[in-house]
């Protein structure tokens, strides 16, 4: 039988990663190239040519293409979206600025949220009204929308968000407006809140709808260019897009609801973290992905990817809740940190070294790339510390200039602080680790975990370089570097199943709950999900999960409870009590509770690639060293010899004692003195603390 292939492409802020799977043999080919920020599709189409020589004929034999991108999140953060207008119920045009009026930090009198994506003069009121029970008090007048259309044309608006009060209960007025706009201004993209987020809470629904509208034209252009380019390159395989919920969606889903791509890139790596947690029987895993621009962390407990609908994007204060735009769609619960290999270091006004969140990105990149970068970066520091091989970076595709990196750090950091070059480079490395450790501690603590007891799975181009010293700061006893760690997010695309989530508001007290009506509505939600999954595969076996959000009547927060085919209010009350008590430590038996939202998730099962154990060689195999390199030891506080190994020469059962460096095509793993590395059955580097590593 001829071979069939599956292609995965993950576009990051600095690098684009590729993985090509031979579905018959299980062989995986990987590649890495610099991202092209102005048009990421250019970098994708250029990068896939790396497989043309290595795997002859793969283009015609590729049956599926999976893609993850940071385009949507970056467009919001960098304010590069469309000129957007908001149509809202008369009297509610300022909801974007009123927000929740939550004080961002406890002791600051003034909030500092990001400026709304829609300026006030483009927030256009519409005379309509729907009651909270769905009754229409005032219908939309066609003449009003005709006047609105004139404003949109005159102002050059290219995208419109429609978010009316209580449209989650009755979407008729929103539907009518969209129909009229499609006739009056057919070239303008339109997004309605009752499609994007049919849930209660007007601010969150409006914010999510606006973000979707803001990035919709940009995303549609990008996906059109990418799909056209793939076809012109000879690919006939369907293009699937990674959604924030950890599942693959069709290109139509991505184009209509780009808000569901807000965590598209980061979640792919966390999927492999969950897979390893399942295979290795780990109850608590910290997925840690550090690339060229950002670092991402996700606490995975009980082998389950955590999903939240309280995501925020473009926070004005790093790591701080309520300082960004709420995005209510289901997404993996993870934290994104402005820390990567390209993070720029400088001495601030207090004379202290500050690293990031500004990044050199892919263009011009760090000084050592030789592409015109001027700011000293984390990658420059790692090179000076001996962690990186200047002739073996990114598979040898980029030659690193040690002399230029040293000169930049000396001028910008060491000279200003009266330190040696190595001291300055170590400070840069240590500061970025402390930044990441602070964010990780907060993320883990908020989720009720403990960094001390978790096992870190580190990956990304820079993750394995920093994993050991980061683990020291977090007091972790063990971390794992998976096989092909440098392109692990691309591998996550091969593992991820097609999946889609729908959440809809349905309010009912538990003591009067009509469970048959609940199941009937959920059945319709399953049918809606099925239509989305049909865009990927019409014959695959489907699995569905049903949950409901339950909370005290009048309370703004709920807990999510899974349900079976038969249940009633009393059963839900028992499950709600147990989950509420587990989360908060108490439960009020005398306060009535209610259902607020219905949740359904659907997946096409048994479609993803699975990690398999490698062949185990004879016992006693010794890892061959490829030389010795001077590198900085955090435990000894000095440069010292590190044995260097090539990962391609390591097989299950081998053991290395730190200090050591393991090089591979897409990343480098550094282990300090006091740590021991074992190669496990999946080819992962399992590193444990075996001695005192702090002086």
Three-state secondary-structure class, residue 638: strand
Question: Does residue 623 surpass a pLDDT of 90?
Answer: no
d(CA 501, CA 267): 15
What DSSP character marks residue 122?
G
d(CA 635, CA 294): 26
Three-state secondary-structure class, residue 621: coil
Output phi, psi for 502, to 5 deg: -130, 135
Residues 6+ apart with CB under 8 A from 31: 17, 18, 20, 47, 48, 50, 51, 395, 487
Over residues 635-658, the pLDDT tens digits come to 999 999 999 999 999 999 999 998
d(CA 530, CA 604): 9
Three-state secondary-structure class, residue 338: coil
- Tell me, what's the pLDDT at 619? 64
Length of the chain: 695
Q: Of 15-19, 261-265, 615-619, 620-624, which range is least confident?
A: 615-619
Over residues 8-25, the pLDDT tens digits come to 999 987 788 999 999 888
Instruction: Dump the DSSP string for 511-528.
Output: GG--HHHHHHHHHHHHHH
The CATH H-level superfamily of 5-76+221-259 is ATPase, nucleotide binding domain (3.30.420.40)
Residues 6+ apart with CB under 8 A from 143: none
- Taken in order 582, 586, 587, 589, the sign of the CA dihedral is positive
Task: Give the chain's mean pLDDT.
Answer: 89
User: How many Å separate Cα 555 from the centre of its chain?
Assistant: 30
Three-state secondary-structure class, residue 479: strand
Dihedral over alpha carbons 47, 532, 302, 505 (to 10 degrees)? 130
Asked if 348 contacts 412 with a C-beta cutoff of 8 angstroms, the reply is no
* Burial of residue 469, with CB atoms counted within 10 A of its CB: 0-12 exposed, 13-18 middle, 19 or more buried: buried
Over residues 542-555, the pLDDT tens digits come to 999 999 999 999 88
Strands (DSSP E) found in 70-128: 84-89, 123-126
Over residues 489-524, the pLDDT tens digits come to 899 999 898 999 999 999 999 989 898 999 999 999
What DSSP character marks residue 304?
B
pTM: 0.88
Instruction: Dump the DSSP string for 165-178.
Output: TTTTT--HHHHHHH
Model confidence at 451, pLDDT cuts 50, 70, 90, reads confident
Is the bond preceding 659 in cis, omega lying within 30 degrees of 0? yes
First to last CA, the chain: 60
- Tell me, what's the pLDDT at 668? 94
Strands (DSSP E) found in 35-80: 62-69
- Tell me, what's the pLDDT at 88? 96
- Tell me, what's the pLDDT at 695? 44
What DSSP character marks residue 222?
H
- Tell me, what's the pLDDT at 72? 87
Element (H, E) at 81: none
d(CA 577, CA 555): 15
Kindly tell me the number of DSSP H helices and DSSP E strands found in the chain. 19, 34
d(CA 508, CA 497): 33
Alpha helices in 111-248 (DSSP H): 142-155, 172-184, 193-196, 202-232
Over residues 151-196, the pLDDT tens digits come to 999 999 999 999 999 999 999 999 999 999 999 999 999 999 999 9
Question: Does residue 387 surpass a pLDDT of 70?
Answer: yes
Instruction: Dump the DSSP string for 545-563.
Output: EEEEEEEETT-S--EEEE-
Three-state secondary-structure class, residue 264: helix
Residues 6+ apart with CB under 8 A from 526: 544, 600, 602
- Tell me, what's the pLDDT at 584? 84
Residues 6+ apart with CB under 8 A from 538: none
Asked if 666 contacts 461 with a C-beta cutoff of 8 angstroms, the reply is yes
d(CA 444, CA 662): 29
Is the bond preceding 357 in cis, omega lying within 30 degrees of 0? yes
Q: What is the 3-state secondary structure (H, E, C) of 421-478?
A: HHHHHHHHHHHHHHHHHHHHHHHHHHCCCCHHHCEEEEECCCHHHHHHHHHHHHCCCE
Asked if 445 contacts 299 with a C-beta cutoff of 8 angstroms, the reply is no
Over residues 357-374, the pLDDT tens digits come to 888 877 788 999 998 889
d(CA 243, CA 268): 9
Parallel, antiparallel or unpaired: strands 239-242 and 62-69: parallel
Residues 6+ apart with CB under 8 A from 647: 662, 663, 664, 669, 685
Model confidence at 408, pLDDT cuts 50, 70, 90, reads very high
Three-state secondary-structure class, residue 508: strand
Residues 6+ apart with CB under 8 A from 107: none
Domain boundaries, the chain: 5-76+221-259, 81-215, 343-430, 499-604, 625-689
Percent of the residues in the chain that have a pLDDT greater than 90, as a whole number: 59
Question: Does residue 1 surpass a pLDDT of 80?
Answer: no
CATH architecture of 81-215: 3-Layer(aba) Sandwich (3.40)
- Tell me, what's the pLDDT at 2? 58
Over residues 30-73, the pLDDT tens digits come to 888 888 887 888 889 888 888 887 888 889 999 999 999 888 88
- Tell me, what's the pLDDT at 71? 84
d(CA 262, CA 486): 22
Under the phi-then-psi rule, with left for phi > 0, alpha for psi from -120 to 50, and beta for the rest, what region is 670? beta
Q: How many CB atoms lie within 10 A of CB 235?
A: 19
- Taken in order 337, 343, 347, 348, the sign of the CA dihedral is negative
């Amino acid at each position: 039988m001829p071979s069939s292939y599956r292609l995965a492409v993950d576009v990051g802020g600095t690098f684009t990663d590729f993985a090509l799977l031979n579905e018959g043999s299980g062989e995986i080919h990987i590649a890495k190239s610099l991202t092209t920020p102005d048009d990421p599709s250019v970098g994708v189409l250029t990068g896939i040519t790396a497989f043309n020589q290595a795997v002859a004929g793969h283009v015609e034999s590729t049956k599926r293409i999976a893609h993850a991108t940071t385009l949507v999140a970056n467009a919001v953060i960098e304010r590069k979206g469309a000129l957007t207008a908001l149509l809202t119920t008369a009297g509610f045009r300022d909801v974007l600025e009123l927000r929740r009026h939550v004080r961002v930090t406890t002791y600051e009198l003034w909030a500092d949220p990001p400026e709304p994506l829609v300026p006030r003069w483009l927030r256009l009121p519409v005379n309509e009204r729907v009651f909270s029970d769905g009754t229409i008090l005032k219908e939309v007048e066609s003449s009003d929308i005709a006047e609105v259309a004139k404003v949109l044309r005159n102002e050059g608006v290219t995208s419109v968000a429609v978010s009316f009060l209580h449209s989650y209960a009755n979407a008729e007025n929103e539907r009518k407006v969209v129909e009229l706009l499609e006739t009056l201004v057919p070239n303008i993209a339109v997004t309605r809140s009752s499609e994007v987020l049919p849930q209660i809470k007007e601010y969150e629904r409006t914010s999510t709808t606006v973000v979707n509208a803001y990035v919709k034209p940009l995303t549609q252009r990008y996906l059109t260019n990418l799909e056209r380019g793939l076809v012109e390159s000879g690919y006939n395989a369907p293009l699937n897009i990674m959604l924030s919920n950890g599942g693959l969606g069709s290109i139509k889903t991505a184009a209509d609801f780009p808000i569901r791509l807000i965590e598209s890139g980061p979640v792919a790596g966390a999927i492999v973290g969950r897979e390893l947690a399942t295979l290795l029987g780990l109850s608590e895993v910290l997925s840690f992905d550090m690339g060229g621009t950002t670092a991402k962390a996700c606490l995975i407990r009980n082998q389950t990817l955590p999903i939240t609908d309280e995501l925020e994007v473009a926070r004005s204060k790093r790591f701080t809740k309520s300082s960004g735009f709420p995005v209510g769609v289901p997404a993996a619960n993870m934290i994104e940190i402005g820390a990567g290999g390209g993070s720029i270091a400088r001495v601030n006004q207090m004379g202290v070294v500050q690293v990031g969140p500004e990044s050199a990105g892919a263009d011009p990149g760090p000084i050592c790339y030789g592409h015109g970068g001027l700011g000293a970066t984390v990658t420059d520091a790692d090179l000076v510390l001996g962690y990186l091989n200047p002739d073996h970076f990114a598979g040898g595709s980029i030659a690193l200039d040690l002399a230029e990196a040293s000169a930049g750090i000396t001028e910008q950091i060491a000279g200003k602080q009266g330190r040696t070059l190595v001291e300055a480079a170590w400070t840069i490395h240590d500061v970025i680790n402390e930044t990441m450790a602070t964010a990780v501690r907060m993320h883990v603590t908020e989720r009720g975990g403990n960094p001390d007891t978790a096992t870190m799975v580190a990956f990304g181009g820079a993750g394995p370089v920093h994993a050991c010293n980061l683990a020291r700061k977090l007091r972790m006893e063990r971390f794992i570097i998976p096989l092909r760690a440098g392109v692990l997010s691309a591998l996550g695309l091969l593992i991820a199943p097609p999946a889609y989530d729908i959440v809809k508001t349905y309010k009912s007290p538990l003591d009067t709950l009509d469970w048959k009506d609940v199941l009937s509505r959920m059945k319709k939600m399953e049918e809606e999900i099925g239509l989305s999954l049909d865009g990927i595969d019409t014959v695959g076996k489907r699995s569905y999960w049903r949950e409901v959000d339950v909370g005290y009547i009048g309370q703004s927060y709920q807990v999510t409870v899974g349900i079976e085919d038969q249940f009633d209010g009393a059963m839900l009350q028992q499950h709600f009590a147990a989950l509420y008590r587990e989360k908060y430590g108490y439960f009020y038996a005398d306060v009535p509770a209610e259902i607020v939202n219905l949740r359904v998730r659907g997946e096409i099962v048994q479609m993803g690639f699975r990690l398999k154990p490698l062949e185990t060689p004879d016992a006693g195999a010794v890892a061959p060293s490829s030389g010795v390199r001077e590198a900085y030891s955090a435990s000894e506080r000095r440069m010292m010899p590190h044995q260097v190994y090539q990962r391609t020469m390591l097989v299950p059962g081998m053991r290395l004692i730190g200090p050591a460096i393991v090089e591979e095509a897409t990343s480098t793993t550094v282990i300090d003195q006091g740590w021991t590395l074992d190669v496990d059955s999946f080819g992962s580097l399992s590193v444990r603390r075996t001695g005192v590593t702090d002086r």
